[in-house]
Amino acid sequence: MLLTCTWEDTLEVPIFQVDAFTERQFAGNPAAVLLLDKYPSDSVLQMIAEENNLSESAFLVSDQGDYRIRWFTPTTEVPLCGHATLASAAVVLEKLEPGRKSVVFHSASGPLEVSRSEFGYAMDFPMRVSAPVAVPEELIRALGVVPVEVQADRFNYLVLLENAQSVRSLAPDIAGIARLDRGGVIVTAAGDQGFDIVSRYFAPAKGIPEDPVTGGAHCALMPYWTGRLGKTRLDAFQASRRGGILHCRLNGDRVELAGHCAFYFTGRATIDLLSESTVDF
């Protein structure tokens, strides 16, 4: 048996775990935020995200007063993530540069500005427009219910159910959702308990069976619901087990998503960068 490893370098970097879209710990959506001098290889970033074992890890690199940002689930890199961006803004504005009022993150989805808000932090994200589609039979089987309506964009199915209780009590076949031809399924209905809308989000194909709170999903939910409800400001609740609150506003082709954050821990991660590995059994 031959086992040979050589190590190029070791990183010791600040790491934060932040619960996003909540005012208290152990609710909302937890994200890891790591501050780097530069990006290592994609494989290293993916291994870190898998080790963190959270729905998203955000990796920040300072860039001329702004920050570059990348997001990884435990299994893949994604082009946009709301809760990890909100968590990253909390890290910058509360821990790294507490005198700042806003920060811009440069991402695969373009520049994303986050500012202090009466609701914590407000993000400016691109809108995602969906269109009606025929209801796929495999989607009905995976959800275990017949939707009122189904729309889709290139990322997700958006499924309307009869009422908020149907969303809250849904127990889908996660393996069935993973086999669909979209990366995830947004399930939604008109709100209850004082909220305009409720939703849940399932993305097992991206390593996230159910995401606790999903900013990106609300980039699609906002244009979907504003015409139906006749207003551009909505209070949304994502009805996962942890739950989370989003204060949303549609502004042209942009969506403002606002919410609070709660810090869980601050520390340092020591990361060995593996440059070569040979295993022969």
Domain locations along the chain: 2-124+260-276, 131-252
What per-residue confidence (pLDDT) applies to 10? 86
Q: Could you tell me the pLDDT band of residue 176, with boundaries at 50, 70 and 90?
A: very high
pLDDT exceeds 70 at position 131: yes
pLDDT digits (tens, 9 = 90+) for 221-263: 999 999 899 999 999 999 999 999 999 999 999 999 999 999 9
pLDDT exceeds 70 at position 7: no
What per-residue confidence (pLDDT) applies to 278? 38
pLDDT digits (tens, 9 = 90+) for 30-55: 999 999 999 999 999 999 999 999 99
The mean of the pLDDT values for the chain is 94
pTM of the full predicted structure?
0.93
- The mean pLDDT value for 64-77 works out to 97
Architecture of domain 131-252: Roll (3.10)
The CATH number, out of the four listed (3.10.310.10, 3.40.50.300, 3.40.50.11900, 3.40.50.970), of the domain defined by the range 2-124+260-276: 3.10.310.10
What per-residue confidence (pLDDT) applies to 11? 86
pLDDT digits (tens, 9 = 90+) for 49-59: 999 999 999 99
Please name the residues in contact with 65: beta carbons below 8 A apart, sequence gap of 6 or more.
none
How distant, in Å, are the alpha carbons of 12, 103, 116 from that of 92? 18, 8, 11
pLDDT exceeds 90 at position 277: no
Least confident of 5-19, 135-149, 161-175, 199-213: 5-19
- How many other CB atoms sit within 10 Å of the CB of residue 217? 27
Q: 236: which 2 tokens?
A: 């949304």
Which entry of 8, 56, 118, 256 is annotated as an active-site residue?
56
**Is residue 56 annotated as a catalytic residue, yes or no?**
yes
pLDDT exceeds 70 at position 266: yes
Q: Could you tell me the pLDDT band of residue 2, with boundaries at 50, 70 and 90?
A: very low
Same fold, 2-124+260-276 and 131-252: yes
pLDDT exceeds 70 at position 180: yes
**In this structure, what are the phi and psi dihedrals at residue 180, rounded to the nearest 5 degrees?**
-70, 165
What per-residue confidence (pLDDT) applies to 274? 64
DSSP string, the chain: -EEEEEEEEEEEEEEEEEEES-SSTTSSEEEEEEEESS---HHHHHHHHHHHTSSEEEEEEEETTEEEEEEE-SS-EES--HHHHHHHHHIIIIII-TT-SEEEEEETTEEEEEEEETTEEEEEEE----EE----HHHHHHHTS--SEEEE-SSEEEEE-SSHHHHHH----HHHHHTSSSSEEEEEEE--TT-SEEEEEEEGGGTEEEESS-HHHHHHHHHHHHHHHT-SEEEEEE-SSS-EEEEEEEETTEEEEEE-EEEEEEEEEEEEEEEEEEEE-
